Amino acid sequence: MDAINVLIVDDEKLIREGLSIILSSYEDIEVVGTCGNGREALEFIRNNDVDVVLMDIRMPVCDGVLGTKIIKEEFKDVKILILTTFDDKEYIHEALKYGASGYLLKDSSYDLIYEGIKISTKGSLVVHSKVANTIISSVSRNGGSLKEIEKYGLTDKEVAIIKEIANGLSNREIAEKLFLSEGTVKNYISTILSKLELRDRTQIAIFAFKTGLVR
């Protein structure tokens, strides 16, 4: 199996070096570089093969939100994982909106960060449960998932698939769980994206969290 090429982006040198040393100890991770802000990261990606970016949110010159935006505009296949703290809820929403593949707490274990990197390469949303619960409670108090389902005309099967996407399952895993073919799941996801006017499965997962479909 080819190693996953990881770029670490953080304005604190000690954090960059620490993450680099630890992640390099995993056989299937190759830390290809480190950068101090989002714009440096974009320049690096233009000249190097990068699969996953570990991106701090709060950085001078170009923070993680803007960094995510400019990288995803130019390199749609690069996965971006936000490293965050509990104080960054608004930033997290913005980064996810621009295409980040998820977020992890800065004090997460290295094994959790490693697993998050692997999960992101499969196209699934990476969500740290503690942060997710905090965000969900703040954005879904006045909504109610039932109203959202009625508003968009979602069927029971579509809702079930949305929930599984938010839980991080792949198309194949969803197909097995719901007794559908993988092709049928793909068709459902296309319909869901059209109904919700969304771009990708990451945004579907965000929709599920915001509306309280997943708690």
**Cα-only R_g, the chain:** 17
Per the CB < 8 A criterion, the answer to whether 200 and 165 are in contact is: no
At 142 the pLDDT is 43
Contact residues for 99 (Cβ-Cβ < 8 A; gap 6+): 68, 69, 72, 76, 80, 199, 200, 202
The model's pLDDT over 43-73, given as tens digits with 9 standing for 90+, comes to 999 999 999 999 998 899 999 999 999 999 9
Q: In the CATH scheme, what architecture does the domain 4-136 have?
A: 3-Layer(aba) Sandwich (3.40)
Indicate the domain borders of the chain. Answer: 4-136, 141-211
Tokens of 150: 């009625």
The model's pLDDT over 99-143, given as tens digits with 9 standing for 90+, comes to 888 888 888 888 889 999 998 898 777 877 666 655 555 544 444
Q: Provide the sign of the torsion angle of the four alpha carbons 137, 143, 146, 148, taken in this order.
A: negative
Q: In the CATH scheme, what architecture does the domain 141-211 have?
A: Orthogonal Bundle (1.10)
What letter represents residue 88's amino acid?
D
